[in-house]
Chain A
C-alpha cells in the first residue's frame, strides 16, 4: 500500500500517475456518464467540457446538472455544488505544505487535488506524498476530461456505470485506504466520529453538509489525544 517508509525515495509524478491508472478507468467512465447526462439535459457540447476543465470535481458537476434538470434554478444549483466542494478548504490546508512555488504555480497545482488523488497520496500521519498527489491528480484530470468529451459527442455506448458496479469502486477505494490508517487510536476515533456524523446528517442536510460536518470530527480526534 501507499505507506512509504522514510528511507524510500519519494514517489515521482510518473509513479503517481501509474498508480492512478486503474482509478483513471473508473473516473473516465464516470466522465462519460457526466457528458451523456449533461448533453441530454440541454448543456450542449462545449459547456460540459468547460465544466470538467474548470470544476474538476464530479460530485459538484453532477449536482449542477441534476438541479438544473429538475428545474431547481441557478441559485440552488450553484449552492449545491459549492456545498459539495467546500470540503476542499480543509483538504487544501492538508496538502498546502507540499504545494510549492510562486502563488500562481500553487494555484495551478491545487487544481490537481481531488478526493481520489488526495486519498492515495495521504501517508496517514497528516503528511502528503507530493509526487503521488500531483501525478495521480494529473492522470485523473486527463481521464475525467477525455471521458466527458467522449460522453458529449459519443453518446452512451458504455451504458450505466452502475450496471458495472463502478459506483461501489469509490467507497471501496476510500475504505481500503482508511483501513491502512487505523493503527493509531486517534485515527479510529476520528473515523468513527466522521462516519457517524455523515450517516446521521445524511437524511436531513443538503448533500455536502454531512461531509464538511464530518471533517469537524478531526477536531474530536485531536481533542481525544
Chain B
C-alpha cells in the first residue's frame, strides 16, 4: 500500500475513534457535577488557545501579522455586540485588505 493510502486509512480511523471515545463511553448521561465543572472551563480554555494559535503562530514561529488586525476588527464587533457573522466577516475583510496593501 502506498504511504498516501496508509496515512488516509490510519488517520481516518484514529480521528473517528478520538471523536467517538467520549460519546460512546459516556454518551447520553449527565456528567457528574465535578466533571461538568471541568468541562465548563474547557470551552474558554480551548477557544482562547484556538484564537492564539490561529492568530499569532505560523508553524512554530510566534508572529504578528495581518491576522492580528482581523482579530482586532472581530474584537470591536464583539464589543459592539454585533452578530457573530459580522465579526467573522470583518476579520476576513480587514485581513485581506491589509494583505493587499
The 9 closest A-B pairs by CB, nearest first: A92-B22, A126-B40, A54-B12, A194-B45, A172-B91, A221-B41, A165-B96, A171-B54, A214-B49
Most buried by B among A81, A169, A193: A169
Q: Are A106 and B41 in contact (CB under 8 A)?
A: no
27 contacts between A and B (CB under 8 A): A1-B83, A1-B84, A42-B4, A51-B11, A53-B12, A74-B3, A81-B15, A85-B11, A92-B22, A94-B43, A96-B29, A110-B24, A119-B50, A127-B36, A165-B70, A168-B91, A171-B91, A172-B74, A173-B88, A174-B47, A175-B47, A178-B43, A190-B48, A194-B45, A198-B49, A203-B61, A214-B48
A142 interface residue per 8 A CB criterion: no
Q: Are B50 and A191 in contact (CB under 8 A)?
A: no
| Contacts A110-B20, A180-B78 known; 20 new A-B pairs at CB < 8 A | A47-B5, A85-B14, A85-B19, A94-B43, A95-B22, A163-B100, A164-B92, A165-B94, A165-B95, A169-B88, A171-B71, A174-B47, A174-B54, A175-B75, A176-B77, A179-B75, A181-B43, A198-B53, A214-B48, A221-B44
What total of chain A residues lie within 8 Å of the partner, measured CB to CB? Answer: 107
Chain B positions within 8 Å of A, measured between CB atoms, are 3-8, 10-16, 18-31, 35-57, 59-62, 66-67, 70-71, 73-75, 77-79, 83-85, 87-97, 99-100
Q: Are B16 and A178 in contact (CB under 8 A)?
A: no
Q: Tell me if A's interface is mostly helix, strand, loop or mixed.
A: helix
A64 interface residue per 8 A CB criterion: yes
Once A81-B15, A88-B15 are accepted as A-B contacts, the answer to whether A181 and B62 lie under 8 Å apart by CB is no
Most buried by A among B16, B22, B60, B66: B22
Q: Which residues from chain A contact B38 at a C-beta distance below 8 Å?
A: 218-219, 222
A158 interface residue per 8 A CB criterion: no
A99 interface residue per 8 A CB criterion: yes
- Bound state CA distance, A134 and B43, in angstroms? 18
A215 interface residue per 8 A CB criterion: yes
Q: With both chains docked as a complex, state the minimum distance between the C-beta of B36 and any C-beta of chain A, in angstroms.
A: 5
Cβ-neighbour of A190 out of B5, B30, B41, B53 (below 8 A): B41
Cβ-neighbour of B21 out of A51, A89, A175, A218 (below 8 A): A89
- Bound state CA distance, A198 and B93, in angstroms? 26
Q: Tell me if B's interface is mostly helix, strand, loop or mixed.
A: helix
Q: Are A215 and B46 in contact (CB under 8 A)?
A: yes
Most buried by A among B8, B62, B77: B8
